[in-house]
Amino acid sequence: MSEDTLIDELLGGKHRALARVITKIENRSPGYRELVSQLHEHTGNAEVIGITGSPGAGKSTLVDKMAAAYRERGETVGVIAIDPSSPFTGGAVLGDRIRMASNVGDMDVFFRSMSARGSLGGLSTATTDAVKALDAFGKDKVIVETVGAGQNEIEIVKTADTVAVLVPPGSGDDIQMLKAGILEIADIFVVNKADMDGADRTVMELREMVGMRDASPMAGHHGADVFDHGPEEGEEDDEGWKPAIVETIAKTGEGIEGFLDTVDEHVAWLVESGELEAQTRQRYEAEIKTLLREDTASLLEDELSTRGGLDAYVDRVVARETDPYAIADELMGPLEDCVAEERERRD
């Protein structure tokens, strides 16, 4: 199937074409960049929701119930679940697990496991591209669920409009983890398994932490210091959005509708405040920088390959004949010369 035909079928609502495009994206198959480029003009309509938090918080169950609730509202859903990478293949090691049980057979819920590609908890560039494919396909909601480990989860901010951080009740370790940095990315805190002992205490601790964030050098991922104790949680003031704290029991579906309503409120604030446009600009700026870094690294790898690899250079450094900075300058020289020549030509 040609790339043009594949794109036409994806835009025409063929789920098989969507699956094939995402496979090409994840595998970085030849031509995938052209596919993503063609999809770009058809994006910008889906709401992207990030679900993150510690392992065992119930993220997969919550996502399952979210998808079912959105379908009841008549909206279509795409789900990308980031799984730990296999150290051998780079593939998602949990990709064959049973998930989305409530939505089996519903063609308007598209589920895909993807590999974190060596960054436990991190989102790869491929994930961002897969979100674009789901957006261009016409999915109303795109949910990205992370692995749930490590500070790299902060990367979800680069992809999601709304970030929900799940916190299981009665877990002091999880609260400490939030204090270490995850706190700053949350638009909504979800105390899941709210029927368990310790849920009320966890809600109280989160409220205290949200109230204290005005003293933090971090001001939330929207870049505004929004914690002046003025507005109620889940509301906005003149400066920004105050993270909401909601309680759910994902296993039974209790609290899911309230959580989705809070997501809607946050999206409405993003649009009305102009923050959605600002986030979009920041997201594309970060994406361009990431692609430039990746392409530059690939170009240098090719140059190294033509020179026989790094071993000879390392030998010279070990022998104190040169140093790493000098080697880097030597290898970067041809690239810098090309850039300088192009700059002179433009001027």
Beta strand 77-83 with 109-115 is: parallel
Q: Are residues 138 and 90 in the same domain?
A: yes
Diameter of the chain measured on Cα atoms: 69
Q: Are residues 296 and 153 in the same domain?
A: no
Which residue, 273, 306, 332, sits at the end of a domain? 273
- Pick left, alpha or beta for residue 43 (phi over 0 → left; psi -120 to 50 → alpha; otherwise beta): beta
Q: Are residues 168 and 311 in the same domain?
A: no
In a domain, 38, yes or no: no
In a domain, 221, yes or no: yes
In a domain, 281, yes or no: no
Does the pLDDT at position 282 exceed 70?
Answer: yes
Total domains in the fold of the chain: 2
| 216-257 tens-digit pLDDT | 544 444 443 332 333 455 555 456 888 999 999 999 999 999
State both tokens at 194: 């709210």
Q: Are residues 195 and 291 in the same domain?
A: no
Which residue, 273, 296, 314, sits at the end of a domain? 273
Q: Are residues 264 and 300 in the same domain?
A: no
Q: Are residues 196 and 112 in the same domain?
A: yes
Beta strand 47-53 with 141-145 is: parallel
CATH number for position 98 = 3.40.50.300
Q: Are residues 202 and 304 in the same domain?
A: no
Q: Are residues 266 and 307 in the same domain?
A: no
The pLDDT assigned to 56 comes to 79
As separate numbers, helices (DSSP H) first and strands (DSSP E) second, the chain gives 11, 7
Flag the least confident range among 176-180, 254-258, 316-320, 338-342.
176-180
Q: Are residues 64 and 211 in the same domain?
A: yes
Which residue, 273, 302, 324, sits at the end of a domain? 273
The pLDDT assigned to 169 comes to 85
Does the pLDDT at position 108 exceed 90?
Answer: no
| 63-84 tens-digit pLDDT | 999 999 999 999 999 999 987 6
Q: Are residues 302 and 209 in the same domain?
A: no
What is the span of the domain harbouring residue 334?
Answer: 287-346
